[in-house]
Structure 1
Amino acid sequence: MQAHNVRTLAGRDKHRHALRQYVIGFLASIVLTLAALWVGFAHGLPAGPLLLVLLLLAVLQIGVQLFLFMHITEGDGPPVHSLAIALAFLFTFVFVAGSLWAMSFHYMVA
């Protein structure tokens, strides 16, 4: 009976830790997204530093997603981690390159 209680308490602690991790990840994602919006809409930086700050915020957002939501530290081994990180960087590159490509059409219309 006592072993069952220990497992139940361990399960509750694990559940609380996971819930805490999701809440922290969610709040960090919101803060990083709002920071990127504020930096982009404030028009306080020239284009080069603005791009650098936005890329830094994007990399931080990737870290939050990988470690707090995708549980990159929990898995079957290093190949899984490497694949997940490679896919994250590929998706980021595609989103950034696609966004820059789509935004470049503004100059053709104007």
Structure 2
Amino acid sequence: MTMGEHEQEKRRELRSYVVGFVAAAGLTTLAFLVVAVGMTSSTAYLVIGAAALAQVVVHFRFFLHIGLQRSTRDDLQLILFTTLIITLMAGGTIWILGNLHHRMM
């Protein structure tokens, strides 16, 4: 790799981080604005949920460099499986605690 190619790669990577930062900051600002404006709760939940999912995609793409290429697809599958397991564990815990709370009343 020549010096010019190395500098070009560094610029490309920096540009990716800047775009990711701007997108993440914009999505975070959107969530705060939804609350500050005082939207109805169902609309606010929908907008904040969509912004959160978009935020996850932005972090995967721009900061973790996980795309749909063949080499990173395995990493993405590992992350999605881990998310599934954590969701099942957290959801099961909340369900059990809710059931116990209901029985104690």
Counterpart of 1:63 in structure 2: which amino acid?
V
Structure 1 segments (4+ residues) deviating >3 Å: 74-77, 85-91
Corresponding residue number in structure 1 for 2:26: 31
Scaled by the length of structure 1, the TM-score of the pair is 0.67
Q: Is 1:40 aligned with 2:35? A: yes
Mapping 1:1-110, distance limit 5 Å: 7-43=2-38, 45-73=39-67, 76-87=71-82
Number of paired residues? 88
**Structure 1 residues not aligned, in runs of 5+:** 1-5, 98-110
CA-based RMSD of the aligned residues comes to 2.6
Alpha-carbon distance, 1:48 to partner: 1.1
Unaligned runs of 5+ in 2: 92-105
Change (3 A) 1:89 1:19: farther
* Identity over aligned pairs, percent: 24
Q: Structure 2 CA distance, aligned partners of 1:60 and 1:42?
A: 21
Q: In the alignment, is the contact (CA less than 8 A) between 1:29 and 1:64 conserved in 2?
A: yes
What is the aligned partner in structure 1 of residue 98 from structure 2? none
